[in-house]
Structure 1
Amino acid sequence: MEPYRIWQYQTEKHSLVLGKDERPALDDSEILVQNKAIGINPVDWKFIKANPLNWPNGHVPGVDGAGVVVQVGSKVDPSLIGRRVAYHGSLNRHGSFAEYTVLNVERVMTLPEGLSFELAAALPCPMLTAWQAFEKIPLTRQREVLVVGFGAVNNLLSQILVRAGYIVDVVSASLSEERAKSLGIRQVYREQSQIDMKYFAIFDAVSGENAAHLVPLLRANGHIVCIQDRIAKPIDPPFTRTISYHEIAVGALHNFGDKDDWHALMQNGEALLERIENGSVEVSIPVTFKFEQMLDALKHSETTKLKTVITLS
């Protein structure tokens, strides 16, 4: 394989530069994916600017992508070559901002035939985050839950909750009443100050501080799920309302999850991809840029907050 193009991190400038890399060697359980599309997430431009993991010069950022398996390790079934997959990679390894990416075979999702690479690449981070948030609370139908914020994650989460039988209210300044009704959402609050009832569970995608302000709106034995940040200490005194506190970090599974954890997450991810393909779960069509326009794509994601995808020919 000829040297392939990558976007490399520059520590001094906190930016990226286009470069090239040689064909990587694969461990026994790894696969090489030829990326057909690359998803841009807020974590990408945030980490490029701040570099909290101390990436060295030459690191390849990016966590989400979709493409075709072109090579497999010695312990991987060779029939996987040619399979269409999507993935959510680790921030600690060379990522998706490249023409090829090395992945653990257990950490990819097989794509439905009718799902495009462009849409698939936009999904792993928000979709798997939404699923992990959903799994934090007991499955009890007809309980009232509140979803705060309506970005890519909470759009998916709200639909998952509705289809599981929960009564879903949303706090959003932008979600239209018409769209809310079409998704099965009961009511939309424009501001948190309008909330006048208590909930079995609240899912907050704003901040840990904001989530803490929402805890008084929970019923006894309720659940607060922080999709952004976390609540460091319980709000209530011990042995009072006995609230359950939850935090979400999909990427942490790369460091703390085992084979069974990943198998379960990828199975659930594949089931959601099927539902997205058949239209039973609605998602926004991403804005696309070419591989050479990576810097423009990152800026677009940051300034517009719209889902942004890089396409490769």
Structure 2
Amino acid sequence: MEQFQIWKYHPETHSLVLGKAKTPQLADDQILVQNKAIGINPVDWKFIKANPLNWPNGHVPGVDGAGLIVQVGANVDTGLIGRRVSYHASLKRNGSFAEYTVLNAERVMVLPESLSFELAAALPCPMLTAWQAFEKIPLTRQREVLVVGFGAVNNSLSQILVRAGYIVDVVSVSLSEERAKSLGIRQVYREQSQIDMKYFAIFDAVSGENAAHLVPLLRANGHIVCIQDRIAKPIDPPFTRTISYHEIALGALHDFGDKEDWYTLMQNGEALLERIANGGVEVNIPVTFKFEQMLNALEHSEFSKLKTVITLS
């Protein structure tokens, strides 16, 4: 393999074109993954449109993928070659929208044999974000929590919370009563104005502004967890209800996490993948497109709000 196909970014047009890249040289601690499936997330099309990181011409976007390890750097165990893995890549480096992706060796999750590449590629970003959100709150006797919004992240988060023994209520227009019951959710509010009680923790996947409006619904010593954006300043005066404010940004771990942080996250991710493979966490089956249909797939992800995956032969 001297060259392989990539989707490369054009800053002037804020769009992608199909191109080719040369096989990269691996650093000592890196691996090369042959992508079998590529997950598309809202962050992908949002960054393509806005380019907040000033991607140069030719940058390869894409944070989620799944495939086979086909090559390893000098300091990586050669026994990893052939392993089936999924991953979450850094937005600042060439990502998953390619036939091959270079990754740090400790930043991949080994897949259960029964989990398809297509489903595995759809999971890293929402699944790991849900896990980070879950880990923000302590397990105490105060168990009533509220989850606001019900996309891919909160679908997984709600099930993780229920399994951990929390009493989970949800704010969602789309979640049916029947499905909520099957997931162990206690009640579904159709709008926030219907909420008539206080919670130990609230997980908001709407916006920092929306999360700020929810803070009065917390009990003393409660927790607000922002999955989108953050609350810049505390809402309550000091030394009153002592609310804890949490922000979630999975991508930030690429810049500020060390090998131990990644090892821990990937171990937890592998445990969640096992639960998904065994039916312990229900996830939506993604809609699939071919590699050549990348532009259609991005559009589908944006306008259908359904989980979208690219498959490679």
Tell me what 2:112 maps to. 112
**1:187 & 1:62 partners in 2: Cα distance?**
36
For residue 2 of structure 1, report the CA deviation from its aligned partner.
3.0
| SS of the residue 2:106 aligns to | helix
Structure 1 residues 1-313: aligned runs within 5 Å:
1-140=1-140, 143-313=143-313
Q: Any conservation in 2 of the 1:141–1:165 contact (CA below 8 Å)? A: no
Structure 1, residues 133-156: CA drift from partner, whole Å, max 9, x if none? Answer: 000000225610000000000000
SS at match of 1:188: strand
Give 1:46 deviation, angstroms: 0.2
Q: Gaps spanning 5+ residues in structure 2: where?
A: none
Which contiguous aligned blocks of 4+ residues in structure 1 show a shift greater than 4 angstroms?
Answer: none
1:240-260 C-alpha deviation (Å, 9 max, x unpaired): 000000000001000000111
> Normalising by structure 2, what TM-score?
0.99
Question: 1:187/1:103 Cα in 2 relative to 1: closer, same or farther (>3 Å)?
Answer: same
Q: Give % identity.
A: 87
Deviations 1:184-235 (A, max 9, x none): 0000000000000000000000000000000000000000000000000000
1:33 partner amino acid: V
Secondary structure of 2:180's counterpart equals: helix
Q: Matched residue of 2:230: which SS? A: coil
Q: Is the 8 A contact 2:63 2:95 kept in 1?
A: yes
Aligned residue pairs, count: 313
RMSD: 0.6
> Counterparts of 2:4 and 2:147 in 1: how far apart (Å)?
43
- What is the Cα deviation at residue 40 of structure 1? 0.1
Determine the C-alpha separation between the residues in 2 that align with 1:286 and 1:139: 32
User: 1:178: how far off?
Assistant: 0.4
**2: distance between equivalents of 1:131 and 1:28?**
30
Question: CA contact under 8 A between 1:7 and 1:17: conserved in structure 2?
Answer: yes
| Aligned residue type for 2:188 | V
Offset at residue 63 of structure 1 (A): 0.4
Given that 1:219 and 1:241 are in contact with CA atoms closer than 8 Å, whether structure 2 keeps it comes out as: yes
Measured in 2, the distance between the counterparts of 1:142 and 1:280 equals 24
CA–CA separation in structure 1 for the residues paired with 2:187 and 2:27 = 51
How far apart, in 1, do the equivalents of 2:142 and 2:36 lie?
Answer: 41
